[in-house]
Structure 1
Amino acid sequence: MNNTQFKRAISEALTKEYELSVPAHNNDHEFSDKFARKMDKLIGRRKKPYYQMINTAGKRVACIFAVIFIAAFTTIMSVSALRNAFKDFFMSIFSDHSEISANVESNEAAPDTIQVYYDIGYDLSDYDVIYEEYDKISRNIIYQKENTIIDYQQLVKSEFDMGLNTESAEISTIDISGHDAVYYVDNHQFYHLIWDNGDYIIMIGSNIGRNELIDIANSVQKAEK
């Protein structure tokens, strides 16, 4: 047996031994319902009518999301994240985004499904509803008038855990109907308010402007039956 044949025989033997030593993998893993819902929401967010307007790199979203996901965990492991405990929220603020979740420990009696609807009371009769999504844990309604967008969401506290586009944004609090609301302006010039109304998390994002957004937020109330 020459040198070449010897190398080939060794390679084939080791390959077979390796294949036999590796256990067979099955693809029967089932993700949790919570994980599945989050993935559905990420997919649903890409389907929103104004997605392309605020995302200038739509074709690279998957790559960008993966990079941010990895960078976030790298940052958490290597540097202590700036933890801001607002009255109703926990936030981790990074250089290019923030992560926010509800402080459910302080209010364990909050409903874990949408049982009561809260709607905007502000006059939006000049607006068209261009997007609606309802499920057991969230509601999302998007209004549009020409180039103005109002994105309204109601979510249960137990499922509220998301990333925010706060790159270069100054995060502060504003009183909304007696509740401390998280306020910031993203790098697409959309104004955002997030607050806990006692039972649910309410989110409103819009390019309508700060003062009118606050007026809209203060008008949110239980829907009439």
Structure 2
Amino acid sequence: MRTLFHDRIDAGRQLGRILAGQSWVEPVVLGLPRGGVPVAAEVARALGAPLDVVVARKIGAPGRREFGVGAVTAEGPPYYSAPALHTFGLTPEVMAPACERERAEARRRLAAYRGGRPEVEIAGHDVLVIDDGLATGVTAMAAVRDLRDARRVVLAVPVCAPDAVVEFEGEVDGFVAVAAPRRFDAVGRWYADFTQVSDATVVRLLGKE
């Protein structure tokens, strides 16, 4: 299987070229930490737009925390995947303690990433939410639902599962992907270098803006 991107910087540049060819009203670029931020930084550069983050934390199933049944941001309502809840026999009420733990962590990370800088204003702006790829989409869904003050919300990724756009119908005003391979498998398969992004890298990239 061939790769599509050398690394997240390459992916961001490819995505940025597509987005730069569209019309935006005072665009703001928000990266999903950690992997989405290097991609978002290149998009922000291509659009000449401010860069910030929207932190969404996966809510893992009991005993299987790597399996996200939902996600939550620092302030917005949690999002749960109904099929995932059904699979594990769970309810939002049962998951409430885990949700609040992840919300607290989202708040902590948001404060650490911004380092005292005020958040970028989104009211009346076109907001582009960027990640390095989209598989289940639970964190991205929580993120876009937290941005109701924006003029428009567009979710943009370098690569996604082919049915991802269907999941976001009615949730976003636009969806952009460089590629949606039929045999998607996993986000990392499409990158030659998919090295984990550190918190320090996120802080450094945000500090450049």
Structure with higher RCO (Cα < 8 A, 6+ apart): 2
Higher share of residues assigned helix: 2
Larger-gyration structure (1/2):
1
Higher share of residues assigned strand: 1
Question: TM-score, normalised to structure 2's length?
Answer: 0.25
Question: TM-score, normalised to structure 1's length?
Answer: 0.24
